Chain A
Amino acid sequence: MAHAATMSHPREVYEAPLTPGWGKLMMWFFLCSDAMSFAGLLAAYAAVRMGSPAWPVPAEHLDVPLTAINTFILICSSVTMVKALSAIRRGSRKGLVLWLLGTIVGGSTFLGVQAYEWTHQITHGLSIQGSLFGATFYILTGFHGCHVLSGVIYLSCIAIKAARGGYTAEHNSPVEIAGLYWHFVDLIWILVFTFVYLI
């Protein structure tokens, strides 16, 4: 896998992480602290589940196929994000804007599907105060959803600046930093999907 995925295409140049790229380093620090927030929530979820004698089977209450498609949409939006960074590093401003728009559409679609699922669950009686199952479901997916919403707004700001010609092949670190945030949101969802929906 490692060799298969490390081939061909143009060369990219990266700044050293612990020297001049302070913006990037600070984003990594933020992501580490945010990862701890999610770890706390997931650990609490695991503790609650392990301590409950009869935890419901998630697949019997949640729409797993729909959420699997939503997971796929978020993964696709991560690909469009790396293609956006790749485009501007080759000097393609048009490519940057188009791939960024694709990422924003992917993130917005994810939020739309999640809003649909929440609506469905609420109308079928699953509430945040009614059971631990409902509380953990809404808190975990809601906390992540807030991150996706923030990411869509963040990427929209980057896209507006990109459309105005704010980034070049030499100056594009804000795009890379926004990308780190977006991929983190994708990474966290991979874990939330597994723990909340599949297990």
Chain B
Amino acid sequence: MTHHTHEHAEPNYWMVWAALLVLTLVELWVAKAPMLKAAIIISLVTLALAKAALVAGYFMHLKFERWALILVVLSPLVLSGILYVGLVPDATNPSHWLPPASP
């Protein structure tokens, strides 16, 4: 069995930890910031995705993996997006919550 190796310098995990801590504090501030509700939601989702990317990229070493594996990992995210977009039209329209009455 041939073993291919993929060498890289060990990331500075304490820097990642500090970034996650700062982003969490920013999240707590944004949640109570005097902004439009939509702006708060977009900011919080962006911050959460940034934190998730840091964990996946550095702690799970995804940043240093091959593209093939990264594509495998990204595929459920695409499917999740489709799932969400598919649900939104019905979720936002109460008349769609129950099946149509039979004639």
- A71, B24: Cβ atoms closer than 8 Å: yes
Interface residues of A, count at CB 8 A? 62
How far does the Cβ of A23 sit from chain B's closest Cβ, in whole Å? Answer: 14
Task: Tell me the nearest residue of chain A to B32, going by C-beta.
Answer: A59
Interface of A is mostly: helix
Give the residues in chain A near B45, CB-CB below 8 Å.
194, 199
Task: Tell me the nearest residue of chain A to B97, going by C-beta.
Answer: A51
How far does the Cβ of B69 sit from chain A's closest Cβ, in whole Å? Answer: 4
- A111 is an interface residue with CB less than 8 A from chain B: no
Selecting from A6-14, A123-131, A135-143, A156-164, the interface stretch reads A6-14
8 further A-B pairs in the complex, CB-CB below 8 A; given A11-B9, A17-B69, A198-B27: A6-B9, A8-B9, A33-B76, A36-B79, A79-B13, A86-B13, A183-B55, A186-B59
Interface size classification for chain B: 35 or more
Chain A residues proximal to chain B, CB less than 8 Å: 1-2, 4-20, 25, 28-29, 31-33, 35-36, 39-40, 43-44, 46-48, 50-51, 59, 64, 68, 71-72, 75-76, 78-79, 81-83, 86, 179-180, 183-184, 186-187, 190-191, 193-195, 198-199
